[in-house]
Amino acid sequence: MERSLVLLKPDALDRGIVGEVIHRFERAGIKIVGMKMVVANEETAKKHYTEDLAQRRGEAVRNLMISMISSGPIVALALEGVEVVEVVRKMVGTTEPKSAAPGTIRGDFAHVSFKHADEHKMGVFNLIHASGSKEEGETEIAVWFKPEELVEHHPSYTHITLKQ
């Protein structure tokens, strides 16, 4: 089992699609082990969007992301499942909404392009963040959740095994 952080960003809350997105994860059999609504302060946003992002994408992009994630309420989810990072990333779709496949969260609910965002010097409103690796998931969950905010539970279907 591994864990992934998902953040439903302010634009997802503005659009009123939080329930739909969570429902998709639940339908896939992904277990929610943490969930809360918060308004990110700048310190937490900077812990999430690290200096590594600035090195890869530039300080201006990092600052836009920090500004966007702290512009309103978000819903933070800690999800758990078998190879959950890869499964969640597939369900979320590519970072650029315009390029995301239909059926993915970004493909169904967003359409902004990198070009448009760059031309208007704005962040890409892409609704959702999902951890990119198992290690990133663990690190990011620690930014948004205290250990006591995560719940261990075992749905009955996870204990069914085949008899030989």
Which residues are tagged catalytic?
129
Give me the DSSP letters along the chain.
Answer: -EEEEEEE-HHHHHHT-HHHHHHHHHHTTPEEEEEEEE---HHHHHHHS-HHHHHHH-HHHHHHHHHHHTSS-EEEEEEEETTHHHHHHHHH--SSGGGSPTTSHHHHH----HHHHHHTT-----SEEE-SSHHHHHHHHHHH--GGGS-----GGGG-----
